[in-house]
Amino acid sequence: MLSHALAQLLNEEIDQGQLGNRLIKSLHIQNNGSIDREVSLKMGAVPESNGSKSHGVNIISYKSRRLGNTSDHSEACLVTDIDADGQDNSPNKSLDEIKKPDPVAIPDDFLCPISLELMRDPVIVATGQTYERSFIQRWIDSGNATCPKTQQKLENFTLTPNYVLRSLITQWCAKHNIEQPTGLTNGKIKKSDGSFRDVSGDIAAIRALVRKLSSRSVEEHRTAAAEIRSLSKRSTDNRILIAESGGIPILVNLLTSEDVLTQENAVTSILNLSIYENNKGLIMLAGAIPSIVQVLRNGSMEARENAAATLFSLSLGDENKIIIGASGAIPALVALLQDGSARGKKDAATALFNLCIYQGNKGRAVRAGIISALLKMLTDPSNCMVDEALTIMSVLASHHEAKVAIVKASTIPVLIDLMRTGLPRNKENAAAILLALCKRDSDNLACISRLGAVIPLTELAKSGTERAKRKATSLLEHLRKLQQL
């Protein structure tokens, strides 16, 4: 089974210009540089390392395509040695007194099966096993296609953040007074192979750039923001160092700059920095969301696109979904979905999908007019965003307000037609949406019966995907019961 959540593996510039081929089951979000953000949307729960499923909701995954520098895929993995609990080991103590107690035993589940070290950024692979991100990424990058622990073939290479385990590790470290792993220590960054890289020279250069960001000169702002943008695209190390140098709050201030280029570079820099997990919290603490939403509403098209992508990246955490949803971002994202460039529409769709995983944001999206926007995408002759529209609608369809809006917009005939003529993935989502609309609703059941849904449903129950078969069979059973009344 495919696991899906945001796995930040973007290793080059986040702002890329050329649009790649649209893949079935995926949203391709691309920006003006050299990275291709492939966002796979799938319906289903994410298996945790213990075999349970998290939340039972649709989760989004963010998967990178390798386009060059391999170092960007290996984030620093620092493990702090566990020392004795502050005992005085001075010579005047007895041997018993100076003997350090045994180190605290780290629970096996907290250790990466590859490195046998405490995990800082645990991620789940397709088999449900959890590994430290940098080590499993190196395993995959080396050409391996199996799970190191189970030797099962990996159905995909999606790396899903294991938030539950990471939270448990955080709590355990706090309880035992153990410092959690960090990205930077004494001017050095620990690489995935265990060696350290001296970055003191880089720190000095980056700090000088950050100081220029605070200059009163518009030209210096623009130049420094462009350089920060360039650095933040290159490597995880740079993303750590820019944050450590205090760059994030200053970049957030520049989001309100009246200079178009400065604003574009600032928002794209924040997007690039957000790829590194620890920076997300710093961006949120800097109060970035209102300014990002302002850029989303009023910035240039490039700035709006990257503002939407930034909101997607930051919405990874459940608590951030709530904050972003309450900030007024959803109407601005729906506006971009309606009037944006091709790339902007895809960025907006991805952000909206992720935000609407949170139940409280579904009503906001409906009131912002998302259903009419999705219906327009479904009926667009170019068919370029049918996958995205169906995936978002399938998330919304269980919400009462959304259900009413979907039916009122005369979407049912379109969904039935997609079951007849759509690609397998589209047929599957169309059936899932219809099932959600018809559960405990005899009027909608009667409607799809009158519109001839039985024939495509019967065909789908025989030859569709496994999920499509389940949805179609369930709908046919509901229709059969309706006829017996």
The pLDDT tens digits of the residues spanning 408-438 come to: 999 999 999 999 998 999 999 999 999 999 9
Answer yes or no: is pLDDT of 178 > 50: yes
Predicted confidence at residue 117, as pLDDT, reads 78
Average pLDDT in the 128-145 region? 83
Among 241, 262, 242, CA closest to 253: 262
Average pLDDT in the 441-465 region? 92
Residue located via tokens 């629970």: 107
Answer yes or no: is pLDDT of 403 > 60: yes
Answer yes or no: is pLDDT of 335 > 80: yes
pTM of the model: 0.66
In sequence order, the β-bridge partners of residue 190 are 196
52 versus 442: the higher-pLDDT residue is 442
The pLDDT tens digits of the residues spanning 296-324 come to: 999 999 999 999 999 999 997 788 999 99
Predicted confidence at residue 408, as pLDDT, reads 95
The pLDDT tens digits of the residues spanning 259-276 come to: 999 999 999 999 999 998
Give the span between the Cα atoms of 197 and 189, in whole angstroms: 5
The percent of residues above 90 in pLDDT, for the chain, comes to 53
Q: Residue 145 burial (CB < 10 Å; 0-12/13-18/19+)?
A: exposed
Answer yes or no: is pLDDT of 173 > 80: yes
Average pLDDT in the 126-130 region? 93
> 37, 28 in Cβ contact below 8 A?
yes
Give the span between the Cα atoms of 438 and 416, in whole angstroms: 13
User: Mean pLDDT in the chain?
Assistant: 78
Answer yes or no: is pLDDT of 355 > 70: yes
The pLDDT tens digits of the residues spanning 180-230 come to: 655 666 677 766 555 677 887 888 899 999 999 988 899 999 999 999 999
Answer yes or no: is pLDDT of 235 > 90: no
Tally: H helices and E strands in the chain:
23, 10
Rounding to the nearest 10 degrees, give the CA dihedral for residues 436, 439, 445, 448: 10
Average pLDDT in the 38-48 region? 30
Predicted confidence at residue 316, as pLDDT, reads 79
The pLDDT tens digits of the residues spanning 67-101 come to: 222 233 222 222 222 222 233 333 333 334 333 44
Answer yes or no: is pLDDT of 118 > 90: no
**One-character DSSP codes across 278-292:** HHHHHHHHTTHHHHH
R_g (Cα) of the chain, nearest Å: 25
Give the span between the Cα atoms of 328 and 290, in whole angstroms: 8
